[in-house]
Amino acid sequence: MSTFNPSATDPDRPLLVDAQSVATLLGRSERSICRDDEQGRLPRPIMLGGSKRWRLSELKQWVGAGCPARNVWEARPDRGEASSEAH
């Protein structure tokens, strides 16, 4: 099993990441990420089977925009095509 490395330049890096990887990316605990998701403070995750996953590209955009609340983020016209799929 490989370790998640968000700075890797490997073209095979994950497109979707789990809560543990989001926590690593944001320097927070997995519990905080779950709580933030429940409170609408993160971009909307994708349900893949019974698992929540976030788009890595959307998370990067979201951080660049200042980490707005989900409702503010979803209202932004400039948040990219990928983030508007599967709501």
Residue 3 lies in a domain: no
More confident residue, 5 or 57: 57
Q: State mean pLDDT over 25-31.
A: 97
Residue 27 lies in a domain: yes
Question: Structural domain of residue 38, as residue ranges?
Answer: 16-78
Residue 53 lies in a domain: yes
What's the domain count of the chain? Answer: 1
Residue 60 lies in a domain: yes
CB atoms within 10 A of CB 70: 16
Residue 83 lies in a domain: no
pLDDT bucket at 6, cuts 50 / 70 / 90: low
> What is the value of pTM for the model shown?
0.77
Name the residue among 8, 13, 11, 35 with its Cα closest to residue 23: 35
Q: Where are the beta strands (DSSP E) in 1-87?
A: 16-17, 46-48, 51-55
47 forms beta bridges with 52
